A = this chain, B = another copy of it.
């Protein structure tokens, strides 16, 4: 007799990143929102680990021991696994397109982490600030069209977490200050994300880091 086990077993998750927020924090927000257990591994041996990472970069997510690289691919994978985004395939694709729209500006900052040339660093930060101001205007229109309190209306999506983290990275790490009074609808998105029970708990208890 063959016995079939239909118990759904939750895989084990391990997220590898530096002891900082950077590109991993939006993924941690997804874990927090879904209230799913994972090992939040903060590495201290980067030189040794780097050649073993799929793309020689972090974050890397291990799912039952198998490695998945690239922060945006990890974000999409977990959002789908945890059922964060709801909608038709076309609606999900629109969320994805706005996610890329935000990320392609913010990811310009991450290589600056170890940039020694201060003048070059300042020029990239200034460029990112200007570029993102334009994107905030577009987001403001979108939130207003969709009626808030989240970017795509009444349901939170992975984009909201990415947006929350992106603005935090730009402001706290790179000293960019956005006048959020000008973007009051986007500001409502940020406060709505921060006050979701699981997120509020994470924000209060997460490790305090320099970056």
Within 8 A of B (CB), among A71-104: 72-74, 76-77, 80-81, 89-90, 93-94, 96-97, 99-101, 104
Whether, in the assembled complex, A46 has its beta carbon less than 8 Å from a beta carbon of chain B, the answer is no
Q: Return the chain B residue nearest A81 by Cβ.
A: B89
Whether, in the assembled complex, A138 has its beta carbon less than 8 Å from a beta carbon of chain B, the answer is yes
Bound-complex Cα distance A69 to B100 (A): 10
Give the residue of B68, B89, B90, B107 whose beta carbon is less than 8 angstroms from that of A93. Answer: B68
Give the residue of B73, B80, B101 whose beta carbon is less than 8 angstroms from that of A100. Answer: B73
B77 A90 Cβ-Cβ under 8 A: yes
Bound-complex Cα distance A55 to B135 (A): 8
Chain A binding site: helix, strand, loop or mixed by DSSP? helix
Q: Return the chain B residue nearest A95 by Cβ.
A: B73
Whether, in the assembled complex, A54 has its beta carbon less than 8 Å from a beta carbon of chain B, the answer is yes
Whether, in the assembled complex, A1 has its beta carbon less than 8 Å from a beta carbon of chain B, the answer is no
Whether, in the assembled complex, A203 has its beta carbon less than 8 Å from a beta carbon of chain B, the answer is no
A97 B73 Cβ-Cβ under 8 A: yes
Whether, in the assembled complex, A198 has its beta carbon less than 8 Å from a beta carbon of chain B, the answer is no
CB distance from A22 to the nearest CB of B (A): 16
Q: Return the chain B residue nearest A101 by Cβ.
A: B55
Whether, in the assembled complex, A126 has its beta carbon less than 8 Å from a beta carbon of chain B, the answer is no
Residue numbers of A with Cβ under 8 A of B are 54-55, 63, 66, 68-70, 72-74, 76-77, 80-81, 89-90, 93-94, 96-97, 99-101, 104, 107, 138
The 12 sampled A-B contact pairs (Cβ below 8 Å) are A55-B97, A55-B138, A68-B94, A68-B97, A69-B101, A70-B96, A70-B97, A73-B96, A73-B97, A73-B100, A77-B93, A104-B107
